[in-house]
Homo-oligomer: A and B are copies of this chain.
Amino acid sequence: MRRGSRRGDILDAFTAMVAERGYDGTNFGDLAAGLGLSKGTIVHHFGTKEQLLTELHETYMRRRLAEVRVVWDALPGPAQRLAAFLHLGVRYQVVDRTATIAFQREVRRFAAAPGMETSRGLRDEYRQLVVSVLTEGERTGDFRPGDARLRTLQLFGSVHWMWTWFDPAGAEPVAAVAASYVDTYLGGLLADPSRAADLADPAGAVVAVVDEALAAGRAVAGLDADEDVGPS
């Protein structure tokens, strides 16, 4: 609505194209053609292709951190918090799908790129939150002792791999995937594994908070519907 709606359109289209084709496969020509404007206009707004990517990454991570803040405040215990993180991670395959794919498919490649310091900082912040939840849970005795960093990376891996196979139009609903992941993962961590079922339950308290966080996030972003962009 404001000045710069054009800018937003360009970033959105860029995001969609990166999700479909990857960064290298995305070019100004097709992007401009799809938007009905010229290559020069895109350059005018963003300067370089790299800048487009930087903004994509930063806005993405900021949305994620905002959501985490909500669950963090609403859920006290480390077990609930960890379960919520996992539920959230899985939900991104549907909630903010296009951006999620665009972001996840090549994160590693751009992690060390110049100009990406900010977004890398945000990612570190996110990861650190999970690590601290794990160490906290070990301290309280909720979790069996173990390496918090490795466990974090194990969790991140399963979530970051999802864009690879998950089909939002498929038979398997996201909630079911999240439930399965939480059940298995938390089952392996909890000192009392019988608690896992409750934390995984799609109708349980944890998921209720997760839904709330996602709704809040969508409100901030301006309720952009998540279209069904499938990567190629």
Q: Which residues of A contact B (CB under 8 A)?
A: 22, 24, 105, 107-109, 112, 144, 146-147, 150-151, 153-165, 172, 176-177, 180-181, 183-189, 193, 196, 231-232
Number of copies: 2
Interface centre among A109, A159, A160, A161 (most CB of B within 10 A): A161
Whether A22 and B109, one on each chain, are in contact in the complex, defined by CB atoms closer than 8 angstroms, is: yes
Which residue of chain B has its CB nearest to the CB of A196?
B188
Q: Give the distance to chain B from A142, nearest Cβ to Cβ, in Å.
A: 14
Which residue of chain B has its CB nearest to the CB of A154?
B158
Whether A156 and B151, one on each chain, are in contact in the complex, defined by CB atoms closer than 8 angstroms, is: no
Q: How far is the CA of A160 from the CA of B165 in the complex (A)?
A: 13
Q: A105-B108, A144-B187, A184-B185 are known; give 16 further A-B pairs, CB within 8 A.
A: A24-B24, A146-B184, A147-B176, A150-B172, A150-B176, A150-B180, A150-B181, A157-B164, A183-B188, A185-B185, A185-B188, A186-B188, A187-B187, A187-B189, A188-B189, A188-B196
Q: Give the distance to chain B from A107, nearest Cβ to Cβ, in Å.
A: 8
